[in-house]
Chains A and B, each alone.
Chain A
Amino acid sequence: MTTTEMRLATEAAEPRRVPGQPDMWVFVLVEALIFTSYFCVYLFSRTQHEQAFLQSQSHLILWLGVLDTIVLLTSSWSVARCVQHSRAGRYREAKHAALLTTGLGLLFLVQKIFEWTALIHRGHTFTSSEFFQHFFFLTGMHCLHLLIGFFVLGLLYLQLADPRKRSQETVETCATYWHTVDFLWVLIFALLYVVR
């Protein structure tokens, strides 16, 4: 039997399971539903005042939104690498990947603060138009999830750093949370910046 065949046989023998703590997927599902309902409200408001929304949308800094997306997608890639390293027992590399993820998350936060400041200086605030109500609300809620994500990444790092506490399930649960933050951003980016 070749190595690949042995690996496939082992995988087939193992029961299929979701990554991380299965309970965490309740959070992913409920948050996805809640954000879907926010998106529905946004899209409904948009159909009521399409021209006003388009006009406000044109004030967004598209390249910054693209950059935000690239940064967060890269952070998702690095947290996935962290999980892979941890599964293979390469905890030093896993810790580096966790730090890289945190750094990219911080970069995203700085970019977002820069974008908000630039928009507010140009007179686009939470109360200036209906589009910007939704914009600041959705990006603000997403940033709240991001801030919780830093706490989660801290937990992940501590798990990797302390051999007595290491739990692959917790590492995967933390990574699942971070992927959720990324997934929500991709939807927000598509709706607020791209859809015209």
Chain B
Amino acid sequence: MTLTDWWDSPKRELWFVWYATIVFYSLYGFVFFVVTRTQPPGKPWLNPDEVVNWFAGRHDGLLIGFGLIFSLGGLSATAIALITYSIRRMSVSRAYAYSYLLLYGVSAVPGFLFICVAMTAGAMRPDRDPALQQWLYDLGFLSFAGTMGVFFIGSLIWMAAVLLDTNGVFPKWFGYLNLCNALTEVVTGAAWIFDRGAFAWNGAIVWWIDVAVWVPYTVVFIHLLRQVILRDDFGTGRLPELPPTEPVRRAREEALVP
């Protein structure tokens, strides 16, 4: 497909939104893991002076990285829009799509904005009272790790829509994968109780296992959204399947030959 074909394609806007989703998640990972080094999360048991040192060690990264998020974080809406669009293409009630849209409309706040605001405020005045710096540190990480209720319900709504859909927009196994993801979101509530161990905000169960499920889940749904765009016929009823790739077509033909 040439650039002109692509530009004239009726799916141009959908592709634009899909690539914006890729940009958002790449930016999200780069800022949190590389620029600000706020993920994996800091230790919950740091004393106030250690927290002051933690902020001092990341001062520039926090301001630059979260500045980027404040400027471009709105791109998170693109993934939500595409998912809502795909649910509307299903045979289920539109109530699923609107519930998902409304729920994820606020997801940026617990999902990343709270931590960005708290950590940027901490980095802005490094000479602030250490007890207040520790308060901002706790607020940042607790709001990030411990507020997964939105994502729990959101995953369940998406799961129900996929499993009930008869238009074949997503494979059914993805519906079940949503349930697996939803169940790991529940676990994070323990971060509000413990400041060390497997259930703290940086713990093996609350953070590491959750991320080990969430990252493949995110990669899978971005890939499946791409498939939905490729298959989209802007019509109603069952979503057409993609024609088989050349090796698959040849293998099928050979299987038919006795």
Contact = CB atoms under 8 A, between A and B. Distances in A.
Interface residues of A, number: 24
Q: How large is the interface on B (under 10, 10 to 19, 20 to 34, 35 or more residues)?
A: 20 to 34
Contacts of B204: 41, 44
Interface of A: 21-24, 26-27, 30-31, 34, 37-38, 41, 44-45, 126-127, 130, 133-134, 137, 141, 144-145, 148
B213 A23 contact: no
Contacts, number: 60
Contact of A141 (B172, B183, B194, B213): B183
Interface stretch (B56-64, B111-119, B174-182): B174-182
Contacts of B173: 22-24, 26-27
Contact of B190 (A30, A130, A137, A145): A137
B140 to A, nearest CB: 23
Interface in B199-215: 199, 204-205, 209, 212-213
Interface string B153-192: 0000000000000000001110111011001101100100
Contacts of A38: 205, 209
State the majority secondary structure of interface residues on A: helix
Which of A21, A26, A137, A148 has the most chain B CB atoms closer than 10 A to its own CB? A26
Contacts of B193: 126-127
B198 interface: yes
23 contacts: A22-B173, A23-B171, A23-B172, A26-B173, A26-B177, A34-B180, A34-B184, A38-B205, A38-B209, A41-B204, A41-B205, A41-B209, A127-B193, A133-B194, A133-B197, A133-B199, A137-B187, A137-B190, A137-B199, A141-B183, A141-B187, A144-B186, A145-B183
